[in-house]
Amino acid sequence: MFKHIARILVGLTFVFSGFVKGIDPWGSAYKFTDYFNAFQMPWLTSLAFALGILLAAAEFFLGVAFIFNFFIRITSWLMLAFMLFFTGLTFVLALTNPVTDCGCFGDALVITNWQTFYKNIVLLALAVFVFIQRKNFQSKNGPLLSIAFSGMTMVVYFYLVAYSYNHLPIIDFSPYKVGVNIPKAMSIPEGAPKAIYENNFIYKNLKTGEEKKFTEANYPWKDTLNWKFVKAEDAVLIQKGYTPPIHDFRIETPEGEDIKDFFLYDEKYTFIVIASNLQKTDKEGIKKAASLAVAAKAKGYNFIALTSTSPDSFEAFKAETGANFDFFNTDEIVLKTIVRSNPGMIVLKKGTILRKYHFNDIPKPEELDSLFE
């Protein structure tokens, strides 16, 4: 009985991990890019998207194979090799902490590197048990049913991955999902825990010449006859405080002024084109947005674009694409978090996200009146 519980638990974990990463292919690619940059391997970033898809698909397949008892004698070898490799890798990540979030469950479940390692220890133990018992797994309904269920599940999975790539993730786990009020998501609740830091000070003993480290609780600032202040060390974070879901959203003018409140508290509809990098953005998508902008601005709506690209290139880009709206700056990581599309679009009213669009789905001007019915 326990062998089947172990098999299904491992399978469900892998299906969940592969699913949430698979339906957010660009999110997986961004996480691989983070790792490559952290390990000083930027030349591999061109492979990030393909590797993200491959890893998610491999996890999902192994999970499906375990759930449907699909050739366990073979797939248990693959699962064991997979867990041995990633348990070792996550141990290294926990020790070195190159990125704070492992990304093993995408944006659906954010856990620390140490939590990831402990999770992998449990999964490795279960995978080892299934591997030892691999010859004792028999499919009561025969291998054909197992093959059929596994095959159909993988077909549906790849359809959802393709759909999420050409549109937006079918489930939005980001802090900028539809229905979120950005100002509220940026606020810190009353009574929320605050960050605690430890300040250390170096003092020199005037009699012995010895330097000694003190904390705020015991530093000898009054004993000027015996001690002389040398320097203060950088504060050390002892306990993290509350971090709001959205904490780094800005809309900056070319002069560096943050004007986000002008749009976040406006009672009119605000259309925001998200173009994380103008050099890589889909020009046809920008042209679609430009057509919609004419109709939106005619109704008095706000219509702007956010990008991380330098303001020096705004005018040339607008001339090339016909973009008839103002461009402002926002951090590139924030923009990639807001919408998995370059360009994409969100629609706000009083700071609440009402709509999100991939550039393939940007509404036509004649559809504007029906958007808010």
Task: Tell me the per-residue pLDDT of 166-198, one tens digit each, with 9 for 90 and over.
Answer: 999 999 999 999 999 999 999 988 888 888 888
Q: Is residue 223 part of a domain?
A: yes
Are 308 and 355 part of one and the same domain? Answer: yes
Same domain, 152 and 40: yes
**Domain co-membership, 89 together with 232:** no
Is 247 strand, coil or helix? Answer: coil
Same domain, 302 and 344: yes
CA atoms within 13 A on the CB side of 225: 0
- Shared domain for 216 and 353, answered yes or no, is no
122 with 16, same domain? Answer: yes
What pLDDT score does 57 carry?
94
> Residue 10 is part of which domain span?
2-166
Q: Which regions in the chain score pLDDT beneath 50? A: none
153 and 227 inside one domain: no
pLDDT for the residue numbered 136: 81
| Last residue within a domain, chosen from 166, 187, 210 | 166
Contact 193, 241 (CB under 8 A): yes
Q: What's residue 118's pLDDT?
A: 93
Q: Do residues 8 and 86 share a domain?
A: yes
In sequence order, what are the residues at sequence separation of 6 or more whose Cβ sits closer than 8 angstroms to the Cβ of residue 195?
237, 239, 240, 241
Q: What pLDDT sits at residue 121?
A: 95
Model-level pTM? Answer: 0.85
Asked if 23 and 143 sit in the same domain, the reply is yes
pLDDT of residue 128: 94
pLDDT digits (tens, 9 = 90+) for 53-96: 999 999 999 999 999 888 888 899 999 999 999 999 899 888 88
Distance CA(244)–CA(125), nearest Å, equals 36
- Contact criterion met (CB below 8 Å) for 342 and 276: yes
Domain containing 273 — which CATH number?
A: 3.40.30.10
Does a structural domain hold residue 244? no
Q: How many structural domains compose the chain?
A: 3
- The last residue of one of the domains, among 150, 166, 182, is 166
Q: Are residues 207 and 272 in the same domain?
A: no
DSSP 112-138: -HHHHHHHHHHHHHHHHHHHHTGGG--
Task: Examine the domain organization and report whether 162 and 206 are in the same domain.
Answer: no
